[in-house]
Chains A and B, each alone.
Chain A
C-alpha cells in the first residue's frame, strides 16, 4: 500500500516550501558548518571530508524539513544555524 495520506502534506504550497527550505536551507547550513570548520582545521582537509560528510548532511537536512512538524520552525532553525556558523566570517 502507498503511504497513508493522513500524515502527508496536503497543500502543494506547503510542500514547495518544505522542498525549498530543505534543499536551500539545508545546503546553507551544511556549507556554513564546513566553512566554520575550515577556520579550525586545515581547509583542504575539511574540503576533502566534505566530499562525504557534506552531501550526506545536506540530504539529512533535506529530509528533516519533511519530518519536522513545522517547516517554518525548521526554516528558522536553518537560518539561525547558518548565521551562527557564519559569525566568524562576518566578524573577520
Chain B
C-alpha cells in the first residue's frame, strides 16, 4: 500500500472514530445489556418470565369486552402486535368503517374532550410509543397485559431492561427539540452507525497489509501505548465481522428511511405503504364494508388458540381484524417461524368469518421469500435471538469487547499526540477530550450497578425513577472524574466502584429478597440467576483488571531500569514518548 493511501485511511479512521467514540460506547454498552432485556425485567420484578407466561392464557374476548364497554365496536379495525416474550400485546383500534357509528363516536369523543378540557386524556395518549393512532377521532392505541387483564401504563411498567434497550438507540435524546427528518436521538444513532461503518472500513484497509502479523501480536508487558495499540488492533480484527454486522443492521433498524423514503418516491410513485408492506410483514388490504351485520358470533380467543395450533414451531406476530361484526369481517394472522426450525420465513392466514373459510394460507416454516431472508438476517443477527441464552452471552461478551476497542482507541489517540512536538494548547485540548470521554464511558458500568441496586429498594419503580437513578449518578460520577483530571484515577476508581457495586447486585438480591444463587438455581429461575451471575462476572473481571494494574505498577517500580532499557532498544521515533 502506498504511503499516501495509508495516511489517508489512518486519518479518516482517526477522525471518524474520535467523533463517534463516546456515543458509540454508550450504544454498545447499553446494547450489550439489552440482549438480556427480559432477564433484567424479570430480575427487577422478582418474577421469572416462565411463571408469568404460565399464569396468562391470552383472553382476547375479555379484551374486546372491556373495550366494548367504552366504545361501540361495530365496523372497526383492530390490530394486535404480539411481542416475542412477555404477556402484553399492543392493541390499536381504528375509527369505525360504519359511517353512522363513526359519527356517533366522534360526537361522543368531542363531548368527552370538552368535559375534560384541553390537555386531558387525549394529550396523554399521544405520548405512547411510536405507532400513532390511525384512523382518527376515537381510535385508541395501548398495551394490554393478559396476565393482569388490564391496560398497561407504559411508564409504570418500565424496567431497567427496557431502559438500557432504549438507551442503546438513544431514545432518551429524542427530547432534544431538533428535528432532522426524524427524532433527534434516532437520527443521531443512525448517523453514528453510518460513521461507525465508515470507521470500520477505513480501519480494515489501514491494517490490511499487516493483518495476519498484527493478529498474533500482543505485547502486554510493553509500554502502555503499545498495549493499547495491540489491544485495539487485535480485538478490532477479531471483532470486525461482529462489529460490521452491527454497523449495517444498526442503520437499517434505526434510520432506514434514509434509503426507503427516496425509493418510495421514485420507484413506488410515492406509495410508501406499498413499499413498507412488501419489505416488512404487514397487510394493507382493505375489505369493503357492507353495512350488514354478521349473522354468527365470533370467538376471538378460540380462533387464536386454533391459529397457534395450526402452525407448530412458529410464533404469531400480528393479528388484524377488519370490519368487526360486519358480514364482510376478515381476520388476518401473520406469523414468523422459530429460528431453530427455519431461520427465515413469514406466515400469513386470511380468514373470512362469515363462512369460516381460509381464503389464503402461507405456512411460516415453509414459505420464505428473498425479502424474508434478508429481513431475517438483519433482525436475527442484530438481536441475537436465534441461538438461545448461550449465544446471547457470547454476543454480550463480544459487545463489551467492542467497548474495549473504543476506549483503547481514545487512549491511542491521546498518547500518540502526547509529545513535545505537539503545541501545548493542542495537548491541553487533547487531554481534556480524553478526560471527558473516559469519565463518561468508564462510569457507565458502576452507574448501571447503582441503578440495579436502587431497584431492589424502590417499591414500584417507574420510568422517571429509573431515569433519575441512572442519569443523576452518571452525571455526578462523570463530573467528579472530569474534575479529578487524572486518567489513571478515573480508570482505577471506576474499576474499584465496579468491583464493589457489581458484587453487591447478586449479594443484595440474596439479602433483600432471598434470591441467592442456589435458591434461584433450585427454583429454575434461570433469568434471575443469569443477571446475578452476569454482575458477579463483571465484578470479577473488574477485580482482575485492578490486580493486573497493581502488579504492573509494582513490577515497573522494582525493575525500573529494565523498562528504560527496553525503551532504549525501541525505534528512535518512539523513544521520547512519555509512558
A: residues with CB less than 8 A from B are 1-4, 6-8, 31, 34-35, 38, 43-45, 47-52, 54-56, 58-60, 62-63, 66-67, 89
The residue that A8 contacts in the complex, of B11, B202, B251, B278, with Cβ under 8 A, is: B11
Rounded to whole Å, the gap between the CB of A13 and the closest CB of chain B is: 17
The residue that B5 contacts in the complex, of A44, A58, A62, A67, with Cβ under 8 A, is: A67
Do B251 and A55 touch across chains, with their CB atoms under 8 A apart?
Answer: yes
* Mask of B346-389 contacts with A, CB within 8 angstroms, 1/0: 00000000000000000000000011001100100000000000
Do A43 and B416 touch across chains, with their CB atoms under 8 A apart?
Answer: no
Assess whether B573 is interfacial by the CB under 8 Å rule.
Answer: yes
B: residues with CB less than 8 A from A are 3-5, 7-12, 14, 194, 197-198, 201-202, 248, 251-252, 256, 259-260, 262-263, 266-268, 275, 278-279, 370-371, 374-375, 378, 416-417, 573
Do B3 and A4 touch across chains, with their CB atoms under 8 A apart?
Answer: yes
- A66: chain B residues at CB < 8 Å are 8, 12
Do A48 and B263 touch across chains, with their CB atoms under 8 A apart?
Answer: no
Rounded to whole Å, the gap between the CB of B530 and the closest CB of chain A is: 32
Which secondary structure dominates chain B's binding surface?
helix
Do B378 and A51 touch across chains, with their CB atoms under 8 A apart?
Answer: yes
Rounded to whole Å, the gap between the CB of A68 and the closest CB of chain B is: 10
Rounded to whole Å, the gap between the CB of A50 and the closest CB of chain B is: 6
25 contacts between A and B (CB under 8 A): A2-B14, A3-B10, A4-B3, A7-B7, A8-B11, A31-B263, A35-B267, A38-B267, A43-B263, A43-B267, A43-B278, A44-B275, A44-B278, A44-B279, A47-B263, A47-B267, A47-B275, A48-B370, A49-B374, A51-B256, A51-B374, A55-B197, A63-B12, A63-B201, A67-B5
Docked pose: A31 CA to B74 CA in angstroms: 45
Do B12 and A48 touch across chains, with their CB atoms under 8 A apart?
Answer: no
The residue that A7 contacts in the complex, of B3, B194, B278, B573, with Cβ under 8 A, is: B3
Residue of A nearest to B202 (CB): A63
Do B573 and A67 touch across chains, with their CB atoms under 8 A apart?
Answer: no
- A56: chain B residues at CB < 8 Å are 197, 201, 248
With A44-B275, A63-B201, A66-B12 in contact, do A1 and B416 touch (Cβ < 8 Å)? yes
Docked pose: A67 CA to B371 CA in angstroms: 34
- B14: chain A residues at CB < 8 Å are 2-3
Best-buried of A2, A6, A38, A51 by chain B (most CB within 10 Å) = A51
Docked pose: A1 CA to B3 CA in angstroms: 14
Do B4 and A55 touch across chains, with their CB atoms under 8 A apart?
Answer: no
Residue of A nearest to B263 (CB): A47
A51-B259, A59-B194 provided; 20 other pairs, C-beta below 8 A?
A2-B10, A2-B417, A4-B7, A6-B7, A31-B259, A31-B263, A38-B267, A43-B263, A43-B268, A47-B267, A47-B278, A48-B370, A48-B371, A48-B375, A50-B259, A51-B256, A52-B248, A59-B201, A63-B12, A67-B8
Best-buried of A6, A34, A38, A47 by chain B (most CB within 10 Å) = A47
Do B268 and A8 touch across chains, with their CB atoms under 8 A apart?
Answer: no
Do A60 and B10 touch across chains, with their CB atoms under 8 A apart?
Answer: no
Docked pose: A50 CA to B248 CA in angstroms: 11
- A51: chain B residues at CB < 8 Å are 248, 252, 256, 259, 374, 378
Residue of A nearest to B5 (CB): A67
Rounded to whole Å, the gap between the CB of A20 and the closest CB of chain B is: 15
Instruction: Return the 4 tightest CB-CB contacts between A and B, nearest first.
Output: A3-B10, A7-B7, A44-B278, A3-B11
Rounded to whole Å, the gap between the CB of B353 and the closest CB of chain A is: 30
- A38: chain B residues at CB < 8 Å are 263, 267
Residue of B nearest to A38 (CB): B267
Do B279 and A35 touch across chains, with their CB atoms under 8 A apart?
Answer: no
Rounded to whole Å, the gap between the CB of A92 and the closest CB of chain B is: 11
Do B259 and A54 touch across chains, with their CB atoms under 8 A apart?
Answer: yes
Do A52 and B374 touch across chains, with their CB atoms under 8 A apart?
Answer: yes
Docked pose: A4 CA to B416 CA in angstroms: 12
Do B7 and A3 touch across chains, with their CB atoms under 8 A apart?
Answer: yes
Rounded to whole Å, the gap between the CB of B283 and the closest CB of chain A is: 15
- A49: chain B residues at CB < 8 Å are 374
Residue of B nearest to A48 (CB): B374
Best-buried of A4, A7, A31, A49 by chain B (most CB within 10 Å) = A7
- A4: chain B residues at CB < 8 Å are 3, 7
Best-buried of A44, A49, A89 by chain B (most CB within 10 Å) = A44
- A62: chain B residues at CB < 8 Å are 198
- B378: chain A residues at CB < 8 Å are 51-52
- A67: chain B residues at CB < 8 Å are 5, 8-9
Do A8 and B201 touch across chains, with their CB atoms under 8 A apart?
Answer: no
Rounded to whole Å, the gap between the CB of B245 and the closest CB of chain A is: 10
With A3-B11, A52-B248, A67-B5 in contact, do A47 and B201 touch (Cβ < 8 Å)? no
Docked pose: A52 CA to B256 CA in angstroms: 11
- A63: chain B residues at CB < 8 Å are 12, 198, 201-202
Rounded to whole Å, the gap between the CB of A22 and the closest CB of chain B is: 9
Residue of B nearest to A67 (CB): B8
Residue of A nearest to B255 (CB): A55
Do B198 and A8 touch across chains, with their CB atoms under 8 A apart?
Answer: no
Rounded to whole Å, the gap between the CB of A5 and the closest CB of chain B is: 8
Rounded to whole Å, the gap between the CB of A42 and the closest CB of chain B is: 8
Do B7 and A45 touch across chains, with their CB atoms under 8 A apart?
Answer: no
- B3: chain A residues at CB < 8 Å are 4, 7
With A1-B573, A7-B8 in contact, do A45 and B370 touch (Cβ < 8 Å)? yes
- B7: chain A residues at CB < 8 Å are 3-4, 6-8
- B11: chain A residues at CB < 8 Å are 2-3, 7-8
- A43: chain B residues at CB < 8 Å are 263, 267-268, 278
- B573: chain A residues at CB < 8 Å are 1
- B266: chain A residues at CB < 8 Å are 35, 89
Residue of A nearest to B245 (CB): A52
Docked pose: A2 CA to B413 CA in angstroms: 8
